[in-house]
């Protein structure tokens, strides 16, 4: 009898503690001790509400699926789709707050907006969009990128905003004389919500080069650009103002509150942190903002960010020079194609399971196929997978044609096929990372995040082989940039004079648990063999682009 009483007492204590935590969370929401992050990714718009004093505590989430459209040979999203998605993600979050915490969400401590970097959003003097949004995925800016790379003495990739703008000038597009402001997707959403045309330095560094040590556009390069023919106005007048992480970036206006929450419940006056790109929020989400750290973000695109100790010795087409949200220099290896083709194959196997009368949950399909990949041969048995749905500059491709290629003596098994598909996600990234390694850049810790890392020990292990370095994945790996920008919003409220790296280390990740995968010798050798064939097979991919 005494044992039962003791068990009941402990159960009551646990229940009381849970109820107490729930009450604390409810009060935090009611009194605005929260931070909201909204991120517009390539396939999902996500909203994430966290405790402002402890961003590791996620209070509610919401999401909306969307897809880019290929219209008149331009990858784009309509602005109507932007707001429909943002409103839906926020409405789902608000409903979850009401359901879980019995609070009608009326105020928030701080808000941040993040989105896909780069691209082209051009507006006239009346703030009207001049041409449909051109996303980072477009590769039609080759002439401008080459011209600016030579002019600046720094690599200007095809997807950078300045390349899009200069290409419009070179092509004598009719809208160019009317351009009075340029911004990114995150900057646009922030602008509509706050009335302020600003950008976080990380996002701004994907529009135009940032001068070392200034966290602002390079004045000398601005002058060189303005000396070119064809611009409508001085570039410094049409680019957004640049802000560092922790700086106040405006407040939610009454119009912005009605746009974000058409129910009319959300009040105006909520402070905003600087809007950031998905690369910057990925760095925050993985605690990779200090020199000699880096992260890999895998989604529709895949990219690596490595924080530099010193400038690179040479200009490389494979490497962008951007910054952290705090303004520290970063080498970026960006690949236009990530996990989309892998997801398409998983969907095919999912459809087969359903057609066979044995349907599975999509997560279970991923888990099963990823586990099969572990049984594959280290070099994937001679099977090659090209994930190029769009053009891939690092691979020298103007367009993409997804392919599975093998020689007659290769071994086509399910484990080899799946290993080849996962290797294919990392192959172009590995080409760029090898350029960085040749520069002598040292990496003490590489972190990874994105949905494909949720199956423990598979994609993480293969990525470690692809870059020949240990890869760490945190429990928040699947949360992504919406959580990262929520943490930056919390930093606005509770940074308390700390630099961003110290804040992340002492507050956000103080109790974080990271799983680390080492690069095994057999996997490294296997991936090297795969990549050697992959390089040779790029000629097949190029032929497919030309023929199909």
Confirm if 131 and 122 have CB atoms less than 8 A apart: yes
Confirm if 537 and 382 have CB atoms less than 8 A apart: no
DSSP-H helix ranges across 468-520 = 481-494, 500-503
CB atoms within 10 A of CB 152: 18
Q: What is the pTM of this model?
A: 0.85
pLDDT tens, 387-422?
999 899 899 998 999 999 999 999 999 999 999 999
Confirm if 424 and 338 have CB atoms less than 8 A apart: no
Q: Is the pLDDT of residue 477 over 60?
A: no
Q: Which of 104, 59, 67 is nearest to 85 (CA)?
A: 67
Q: Is the pLDDT of residue 18 over 90?
A: no
pLDDT of 213 reads 87
| Portion of the chain with pLDDT greater than 90, in percent | 81
Per-residue pLDDT band at 12 (split at 50, 70, 90): very low
pLDDT of 176 reads 95
pLDDT tens, 82-141?
999 999 999 999 999 999 999 999 999 999 999 999 999 999 999 999 999 999 989 899
The Cα–Cα gap between 539 and 423 comes to: 18
pLDDT of 23 reads 86
| Angle (nearest 5°) at CA 529 between 525 and 532 | 135
Q: Is the pLDDT of residue 521 over 90?
A: yes
pLDDT of 88 reads 98
The Cα–Cα gap between 23 and 492 comes to: 25
Q: Is the pLDDT of residue 505 over 60?
A: yes
Per-residue pLDDT band at 384 (split at 50, 70, 90): very high
pLDDT tens, 336-354?
999 999 999 999 999 999 9
Q: Which of 116, 198, 202, 129 is nearest to 159 (CA)?
A: 116
Per the CATH hierarchy, to which homologous superfamily does domain 29-286+477-508 belong? ATPase, nucleotide binding domain (3.30.420.40)
Domain with CATH 3.30.420.40 in the chain: 29-286+477-508
Residue range 139-158: mean pLDDT, rounded: 94
Per-residue pLDDT band at 445 (split at 50, 70, 90): confident
Residue by residue, DSSP assigns 301-325 as: SEEEEEE-SS--SS--TT-EEEE-T
Q: Which residues contact 352 (CB under 8 A, 6 or more apart)?
A: none
């Amino acid at each position: 009898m005494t044992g039962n009483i003791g068990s009941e007492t402990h159960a009551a204590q646990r229940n009381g503690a849970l109820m107490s935590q729930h009450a604390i969370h409810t009060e935090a929401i009611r009194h605005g001790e929260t931070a909201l992050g909204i991120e517009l990714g390539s396939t999902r718009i996500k909203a994430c509400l966290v405790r402002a004093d402890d961003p590791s505590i996620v209070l509610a989430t919401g999401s909306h699926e969307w897809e880019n459209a290929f219209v008149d040979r331009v990858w784009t999203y309509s602005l109507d789709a932007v707001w429909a998605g943002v409103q839906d993600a926020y409405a789902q979050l608000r409903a979850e707050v009401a359901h879980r915490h019995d609070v009608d969400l009326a105020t928030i401590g701080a808000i941040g907006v993040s989105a896909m970097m780069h691209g082209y959003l051009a507006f006239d003097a009346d703030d009207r969009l001049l041409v449909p949004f051109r996303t980072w995925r477009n590769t039609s800016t080759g002439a401008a990128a080459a011209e600016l790379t030579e002019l600046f003495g720094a690599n200007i990739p095809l997807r950078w905003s300045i390349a899009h703008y200069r290409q419009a000038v070179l092509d004598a597009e009719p809208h160019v004389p009317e351009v009075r402001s340029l911004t990114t997707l995150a900057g646009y959403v922030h602008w509509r919500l706050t009335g302020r045309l600003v950008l976080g330095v990380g996002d701004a560094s994907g529009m135009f080069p940032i001068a070392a040590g200034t966290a602002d556009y390079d004045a000398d390069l601005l002058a060189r650009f303005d000396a070119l023919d064809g611009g409508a106005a001085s570039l410094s007048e049409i680019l957004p103002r640049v802000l560092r992480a922790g700086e106040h970036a405006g407040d939610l206006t009454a119009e912005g509150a009605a746009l974000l929450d058409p129910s009319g419940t959300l009040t105006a006056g909520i402070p905003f942190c600087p809007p950031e790109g998905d690369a910057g929020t990925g760095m925050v989400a993985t605690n990779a903002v200090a020199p000699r750290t880096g992260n890999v973000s895998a989604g529709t695109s895949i990219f690596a960010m490595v924080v530099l100790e010193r400038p690179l010795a040479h200009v490389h087409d494979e490497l962008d020079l951007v910054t952290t949200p705090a303004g520290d220099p970063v080498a970026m290896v960006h690949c236009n194609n990530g996990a989309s083709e892998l997801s398409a194959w998983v969907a095919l196997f999912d459809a087969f399971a359903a057609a066979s009368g044995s349907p599975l949950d999509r997560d279970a399909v991923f888990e099963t196929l990823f586990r099969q990949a572990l049984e594959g041969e280290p070099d994937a048995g001679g099977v090659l997978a090209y994930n190029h749905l769009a053009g891939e500059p690092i691979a020298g491709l103007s367009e993409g044609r997804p392919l599975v290629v093998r020689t007659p003596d290769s071994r086509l098994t399910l484990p080899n096929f799946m290993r080849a598909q996962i290797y294919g996600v990392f192959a172009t990234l590995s080409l760029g990372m090898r350029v960085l390694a040749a520069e002598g850049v040292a990496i003490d810790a590489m972190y990874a995040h994105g949905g494909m890392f949720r199956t423990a020990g598979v994609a993480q292990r293969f990525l470690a082989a692809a870059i020949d370095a240990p890869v760490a994945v945190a429990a928040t790996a699947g949360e992504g940039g919406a959580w990262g920008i929520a943490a930056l919003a919390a930093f606005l409220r509770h940074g308390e004079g700390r630099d961003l790296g110290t804040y992340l280390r002492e507050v956000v990740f103080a109790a974080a648990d990271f799983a680390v995968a080492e690069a095994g010798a057999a996997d490294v050798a296997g991936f090297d063999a795969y990549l050697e064939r992959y390089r040779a097979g790029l000629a097949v991919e190029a032929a497919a682009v030309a023929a199909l």
